[in-house]
């Protein structure tokens, strides 16, 4: 029996706001230390500070000659070469101060000596013995990064709540930080429902369907920084469904798929209602994924200070499951993973062929972005609706169509969400 008491079908924006609002109230408290080499994708539990200025000395960014720029007001000019500085040169070998009329041969990454205020690229020079002829003028500061210009000692290099990527890990390495202090991954339970669903090692009967959602969700949860906890398939039968939902509510977050539409055997909402769940919405005006459900239930997950475990009832159609995870559930996984909140990211691309749809829903339709540089364009993947995994596997983005648009002409710039 569908649940009539919760008719809260929200616009996409309101539904998203509801998720963001709840996500802002959860936090991950458990932390661990991991070696920097395996910290990719982990979320920092402690900001990383600069242990010294970056760069720690005025750094030459070119091979050439450190000079006083004023000496090159008129070129060609000839200067005395008083030494050579390579990267890593020890301090006692570096001239303390160079005077007007002098130059020092210098390599990329080497410290620029006092008195010099620019580095002339070697390409504009010709050295003969102890003299160098320079054919180009230069502005003060050129080809030198002053010490501390990138970061000052003690300043925050990578903030707590940042998910570590290659650049953040390089920064941590620069500051000599390994191991790093990160949040533990939240446990995200996956409960797939449906009498027709079988495990992938079973031989499906003629009307049975293999459980693909379990696999796509496991990937999406890991991508979002969570640890999937895969529960057995729940039948469309209230008692067994209830037992498994209760099991799932022991995790930090529960994701269910299937059983949230209006069919006679869509029992997920009914069971959650029996468990005294609080619902934030029971539908969103989107396609795919309209029946998506979001709420909170039970005594509370270990990582949360407030009571109740958050859950999503994601529609069972595989593309709906994938899309609603990205639009809604991901934000909650990220929050439970300790990540600082962020908005969904969209970009724009030129539409290759026109689109006609019925108005009323915000659509996220599988599409292919192709073409390089100025020729970049996007078009819908022909599909059989939200059960068509094959079409979605060919897609590399979703075209976003607002609810008031029925017709979009080719050549128009449309918002897309990368996948
Ligand atoms: P439901 O949301 O339960 O009405 O299911 C909608 C459609 O998605 C039906 O065609 C189901 O067979 C299919 N479906 C539901 N769960 C899964 C699953 N775990 N894996 C693959 N297909 C599913
Ligand atoms: Mg079902």
Mutate to test the pocket of ligand 1, among 192, 257, 389 (most ligand atoms within 8 A of CB): 257
Quote the ligand 1 centre to 389 CA distance (angstroms). 12
**Any bridge partners for residue 383, and if so which?**
none
Note residues around ion ligand 2 (Cβ under 5 angstroms).
194, 258-259, 316
Q: How far apart are CA 257 and CA 309, in angstroms?
A: 17
The confidence score (pLDDT) of residue 29 equals 87
For ligand 1, is residue 212 a contact (CB within 6 Å)? yes
323 CA distance to ligand 2 centroid (A)? 17
Ligand whose nearest atom lies closest to the CA of 317: 1
Please give the DSSP secondary-structure letter assigned to residue 126: E
pLDDT for res 28: 85
pLDDT value for 298: 81
Ligand nearest to the CA of 291: 1
Contact 190, 200 (CB under 8 A): no
The per-residue pLDDT for range 158-199, each reduced to its tens digit, is: 999 999 999 999 999 999 999 999 999 999 999 999 999 999
Please report the sign of the dihedral spanned by the C-alpha atoms of residue 14, residue 16, residue 22, residue 24. Answer: negative
Q: Which residues of the chain have pLDDT under 50?
A: 1-4, 301, 303-304
Query: Using a 6 Å cutoff on CB, does residue 317 contact ligand 1?
Result: yes
Element (H, E) at 332: helix 330-336
How far apart CA 156 and CA 186 sit, in angstroms, is 26
| pLDDT score, position 5 | 54
- In this predicted structure, what is the pLDDT of residue 331? 98
- Taking the centre of ligand 2 as the mean of its atom positions, its distance from the CA of residue 331, in whole angstroms, is 25
How far does residue 354's CA lie from ligand 1's centre (Å)? 30
Q: What spacing in Å lies between the alpha carbon of 194 and ligand 1's midpoint?
A: 7
- Rounded to whole angstroms, how far apart are CA atoms 189 and 254? 5
Write b or e for each residue in 269-290: b if 16 or more Cβ atoms lie within 10 A of its Cβ, otherwise e: bbbbeeeebebbbbbbbbbbbb
């Amino acid at each position: 029996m569908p649940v009539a008491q919760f008719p809260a079908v929200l616009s996409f924006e309101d539904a998203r706001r509801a998720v963001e609002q709840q996500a802002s109230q959860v936090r991950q408290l458990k932390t661990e230390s991991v070696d920097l080499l395996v910290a990719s994708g982990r979320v920092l539990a402690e900001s990383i500070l600069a242990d010294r200025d970056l760069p720690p000395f005025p750094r030459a960014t070119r091979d050439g000659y450190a000079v006083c720029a004023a000496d090159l007001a008129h070129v060609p000019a000839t200067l005395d070469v008083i030494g050579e500085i390579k990267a890593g040169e020890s301090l006692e070998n570096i001239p303390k101060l160079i005077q007007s009329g002098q130059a020092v041969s210098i390599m990329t990454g080497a410290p620029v000596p006092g008195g010099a205020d620019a580095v002339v690229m070697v390409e504009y020079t010709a050295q003969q013995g102890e003299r160098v002829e320079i054919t180009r003028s230069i502005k003060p500061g050129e080809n030198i990064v002053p010490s501390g210009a990138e970061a000052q000692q003690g300043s925050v290099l990578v903030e707590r709540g940042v998910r570590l990527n290659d650049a953040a890990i390089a920064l941590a390495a620069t500051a000599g930080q390994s191991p790093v202090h990160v949040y533990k991954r939240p446990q995200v339970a996956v409960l797939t429902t449906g009498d027709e669903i079988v495990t992938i090692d079973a031989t499906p009967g003629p009307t049975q369907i293999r459980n693909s959602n379990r696999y796509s969700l496991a990937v999406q949860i890991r991508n979002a920084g969570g640890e999937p906890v895969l529960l057995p398939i729940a039948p469309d039968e209230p008692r067994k469904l209830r037992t498994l939902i209760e099991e799932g509510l022991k995790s930090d977050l529960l994701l269910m798929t299937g059983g949230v539409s209006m069919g006679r055997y869509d029992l997920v909402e009914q069971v959650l209602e029996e468990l005294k769940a609080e619902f934030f919405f029971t539908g969103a005006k989107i396609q795919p994924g309209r029946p998506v459900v979001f709420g909170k239930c039970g005594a509370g997950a270990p990582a949360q200070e407030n009571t109740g475990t958050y859950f999503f009832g994601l529609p069972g159609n595989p593309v709906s499951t994938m899309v609603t995870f990205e639009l809604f559930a991901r934000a909650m996984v990220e929050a439970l993973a300790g990540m600082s909140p962020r908005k969904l990211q969209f970009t724009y691309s030129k539409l290759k062929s026109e689109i006609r749809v019925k108005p009323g829903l915000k659509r996220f339709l599988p599409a292919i972005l192709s073409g390089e540089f100025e020729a970049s364009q996007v078009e819908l993947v022909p599909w059989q609706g939200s059960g068509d995994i094959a079409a979605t596997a060919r897609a590399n983005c979703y075209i976003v169509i607002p609810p008031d648009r029925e017709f979009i002409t080719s050549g128009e710039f449309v918002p897309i969400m990368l996948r």
